[in-house]
Structure 1
Amino acid sequence: MADTGTITVPHLGTSTIGYRFGRPYDPSLPTLVLVNSFSTSADLYRPQFADEDLAATANLLALEPYGHGRTRASYEQFTYWDSAVADLQVLDALGIPEAFVLGTSQGGWVAARMAMLAPRVVTGIVPLGTSMDHESPRSRDLGCWDGVAFCTPAIDALAEEVGHDWAVPVELVDAVLAEGLGEDVSPAERSFWHETHQQNYSGDDGRRRLRLSSINLRDRDGLHGRLDDVRCPVLWMHGTEDTVYSVANAEQEIGLFTSSADAELRVVDGGRHFLSASHPAEVDRATIDFIRRWT
């Protein structure tokens, strides 16, 4: 597996987007774009890159959203719509005419935005452990988390300029891991994400990117009124142990893809919020079948 590199696109006053191929690009295969969850990086998809069957089915291309990994922009503000536009520009720059898009949590709504913006490019989406709503009372009534309460303390704590020696506190990383993978995270995995976060979010630039990423998560726009513009097939996978967004919410929202060629919700017993990491075998097998069906 190659290391994460960058590619330049024109969006937001010129951006460098962090990207990683699992193997050298093979134009005879379909492409699966992988969009990572809040504060993680392309490394979230290490299990997918290691899956030989998945790699033989599609080119695996991880793209890091604004505020994450190695992605940077000339402009200082960004939203999830910007990440969707930039990812489409990466595909164009790489000469990839169409792709499936799999996204975990925030990656799910980037995938949906990509499908809305470029229906001729996005041939199918696989949202994992996500929600298509804003952080609404409706979603909390259905058992989803209180994203406002989770994000606001971090946003407030990250408001002041810091020195070059600053790095994201491990307590914040542990809070993300608890929501994404539960409390039973191995010491090796916890240490990996502590180190990765502190590399990606250091100095005042890191503080600012993490704060804007948290603001985007808390204050994002909902997609309910737009989902009938998604025409490609949708395979939504959701874990029963997802403590961020509930199965009940997913059961309602899958019905909003009324123009999709097919829209299926698949519930994974015991699955966590970062479903591609907690249950990679189930996600990879379903994704392979989905790609083969719609290619």
Structure 2
Amino acid sequence: MSSAETIPVPHLGSSTVGQRFARPYDASLPTLVLVNSFTTTVDLYRPQFADDALASAANLLAIEPYGHGRTRASYDQFTYWDSAIANLQVLDALGIPEAFVLGTSQGGWIAARMAMLAPGTVRGIIPLGTSMDFESPRSRNLGCWDGVGFCAPALGALADPVGEDWTIPTELVDAVLAEGLGEDVSADERAFWHETHQRNYAGDAGRERLRLATVNLSARDGLHDRLYGVRCPVLWMHGTADTVYSVANAEEEIALFVSSPGAELRVVEGGRHFLSASHPADVDAAAIEFLDRWA
């Protein structure tokens, strides 16, 4: 899969947002926006782009959040709310009046934000391996990771300016892969993500994007008191081998979508945190079924 293209949007002073279609846009099909996980790119969705059944059922449009891939802004700071707004502006710029949104990990809470901000645009969301909480004691008590503790060493290591020859250390990439896909990542897949991360997070500007992406993950706001604003269908998929956010957490939080006409949690046996990558067949089949029902 080739690198993302960019499209200009007006948010945060002005931005260029990394995005890529699986195939040329077809107005007769529903659109499924794909939002990637922490430090990854549109390339996280290589399995979905390669699935002819899914790509024939919907326009697949992967969009990179702020701090990721080729997305850039003229302002120096950003939050997940900014990524949600920019994603909606990408749809406007492309002339797409409505869409479904699938998001992995941080992509799940960006999808929820998009649904709350634009209920007339977002027809349904498919969060994968995610949480709607902040990194709270409550979530840790339910078996979720210590996200603040995970991010703290990286924030310390990324605090000071660096030279233009700097690239993200591979141990940081390996830590993300271990949480997302487990320890048995193939050599080819590991090499792919090492190269991708080192291309995207290079020089002092790359260090700063990575630091802010890590700040966003560690210090984000929770959504519990806002989820009544999600008025579209929700299909939450969660793997039993997810070491970041637990099935128990998902079981509690799916009940908070009180305004949704259909909020379902589907548990995937053996699924990892980056569920779209670890179990693409399960995710793709469920997405097709969801689109068939709600499009």
Q: Same fold (TM over 0.5)?
A: yes
Structure 2: distance between partners of 1:198 and 1:2: 16
2:25: which partner in 1?
25
Structure 1: distance between partners of 2:164 and 2:3: 25
Structure 1 segment 156-167 matched on structure 2, within 5 A? 156-167=156-167
Question: Would the aligned equivalents of 2:237 and 2:267 in 1 still touch at CA under 8 Å?
Answer: yes
1:5: which partner in 2?
5
Alpha-carbon RMSD: 0.6
1:215: which partner in 2?
215
Aligned residues: 295
2:256: which partner in 1?
256
Alignment partner of 1:221: what SS?
coil
Alignment partner of 1:13: what SS?
coil
Q: Does 1:132 align with 2:106?
A: no
Structure 1: distance between partners of 2:184 and 2:211: 27
Question: Would the aligned equivalents of 1:2 and 1:22 in 2 still touch at CA under 8 Å?
Answer: no
The AA in structure 1 aligned to 2:216 is: N
CA deviation map 1:20-77 (0-9, x unaligned): 0000000000000000000000000000000000000000000000000000000000
Question: Would the aligned equivalents of 1:2 and 1:23 in 2 still touch at CA under 8 Å?
Answer: no
TM-score by length of 1: 0.99
Structure 1 segment 198-277 matched on structure 2, within 5 A? 198-277=198-277
Cα distance, 1:2 vs structure 2? 5.7
Structure 2: distance between partners of 1:88 and 1:217: 21
CA deviation map 1:211-258 (0-9, x unaligned): 000000000000000001100000000000000000000000000000
The AA in structure 2 aligned to 1:211 is: R
1:62: which partner in 2?
62
Question: Would the aligned equivalents of 2:3 and 2:43 in 1 still touch at CA under 8 Å?
Answer: no
Structure 2: distance between partners of 1:74 and 1:190: 32
Question: Would the aligned equivalents of 1:236 and 1:254 in 2 still touch at CA under 8 Å?
Answer: yes
Structure 2: distance between partners of 1:258 and 1:189: 39
Percent identity, aligned pairs only, is: 77
2:71: which partner in 1?
71
Cα distance, 1:85 vs structure 2? 0.2
Structure 1 segment 99-114 matched on structure 2, within 5 A? 99-114=99-114
Question: Would the aligned equivalents of 1:2 and 1:21 in 2 still touch at CA under 8 Å?
Answer: no
Structure 2: distance between partners of 1:55 and 1:218: 34
The AA in structure 2 aligned to 1:169 is: P
Cα distance, 1:3 vs structure 2? 4.0
Cα distance, 1:4 vs structure 2? 1.0
TM-score by length of 2: 0.99
The AA in structure 2 aligned to 1:210 is: L
Q: Does 1:179 align with 2:207?
A: no
The AA in structure 2 aligned to 1:235 is: L
The AA in structure 2 aligned to 1:229 is: G
The AA in structure 2 aligned to 1:20 is: R
Structure 2: distance between partners of 1:234 and 1:2: 30
The AA in structure 2 aligned to 1:245 is: Y
Question: Would the aligned equivalents of 1:30 and 1:59 in 2 still touch at CA under 8 Å?
Answer: yes
Question: Would the aligned equivalents of 1:39 and 1:68 in 2 still touch at CA under 8 Å?
Answer: yes
Show structure 1 runs of 5+ residues with no match: none
- Distance 1:60-1:217 versus aligned 2 partners, 3 A rule: same
Alignment partner of 1:11: what SS?
coil
Structure 2: distance between partners of 1:139 and 1:215: 18
1:89: which partner in 2?
89
Question: Would the aligned equivalents of 1:257 and 1:263 in 2 still touch at CA under 8 Å?
Answer: yes
Structure 2: distance between partners of 1:269 and 1:201: 34
Structure 2: distance between partners of 1:3 and 1:153: 29
Structure 1: 4+ residue segments shifted above 3 A: none
Structure 1: distance between partners of 2:268 and 2:78: 33
